[in-house]
Amino acid sequence: MSEKDKEKKQGKNISRRSFIKGVGTGTVAATVAPAILVGDDQAAEAQTDEAVASARIQLNINEETTEIEVEARTTLLSVLRDGIDTTGNNVDLTGAKLICDKGECGGCTVLVDGKPVYACMLLAMDAQGKQITTVEGIANGDDLHPVQEAFIQHDALMCGFCTPGFVVSSVALLNENNKPTIAEIKEGLSGNTCRCGTYPFIFDAVETASQKM
């Protein structure tokens, strides 16, 4: 350890104030352009080169349009789980979970234009104009998707907290490759994490589902 760092470690009155960086939060919003309707194509086009701190946007989630006011920093996951739309209703799609908050565990996996992505790592504004499918949109009404049926049949879930993410990733995998080998299943689901240890039965479930697709 360098002398300097020793000093730092043993120093008196170390103020943690220094860890608050720059100006306080909350000041940025006041200095930027007012919210605009970016979801509207025309408006978006007119305004694209203007910086916005927040905006009223439209998202296509599970084939329905949701209009919502978001900050630039709002993630898609935050909209799905905690968002309140412009009519005052909770979006309340809580199937996708925030688990690692870092784009590693797959708990928040949703389909964007059919491809699995981490909703915790996607800004809501970037999800405009795309088809978003959450776990709530996988079944056809009361008819479960073959992946969902197979997950139940094989007990491919325990606590179930990671299950929505695994279901969405499995559906995406089978949409791309409807007869995956075990290696391809592992690869396709490698962006999802389970702590209860349901993996072996998840692999079985995906194999079973693949036979029905």
Return the residues of window 85-104 that contact another protein according to CB under 8 A. 90, 92-104
What would the two tokens of residue 77 be?
């996951």
Residues 144 to 163 in contact with another protein, rule: CB under 8 A: 144, 147-148, 151-153, 155, 157-163
Exposure string for 67-101, b = 16+ CB within 10 A, e = fewer: ebebbeebbbbbbbbebebeeeeebebebbbbbee
How far is C-alpha 187 from the chain's CA centre?
20
Q: Which is nearer to another protein, 49 or 63 (CB)?
A: 49
C-alpha–C-alpha distance, residues 174 and 18, integer Å = 50
Taking residues 106 to 145 in sequence order and writing x for each that binds another protein by CB under 8 A, - otherwise, the string is xx-x--x--xxxx--xxx-xx-------xxx-xx----x-
Q: Does 192 bind another protein (CB under 8 A)?
A: yes
By rule CB under 8 A, what count of residues binds another protein? 110
C-alpha–C-alpha distance, residues 91 and 44, integer Å = 23
Is residue 132 within 8 Å of residue 76, measured between CB atoms? yes
**Minimum separation from the CB atom of position 65 to another protein (A):** 20
Q: Which is nearer to another protein, 60 or 201 (CB)?
A: 201
Q: Does 195 bind another protein (CB under 8 A)?
A: yes
Q: Does 41 bind another protein (CB under 8 A)?
A: no
Residues 48 to 87 in contact with another protein, rule: CB under 8 A: 48-53, 55, 71-75, 78, 81-82
Is residue 125 within 8 Å of residue 38, measured between CB atoms? yes
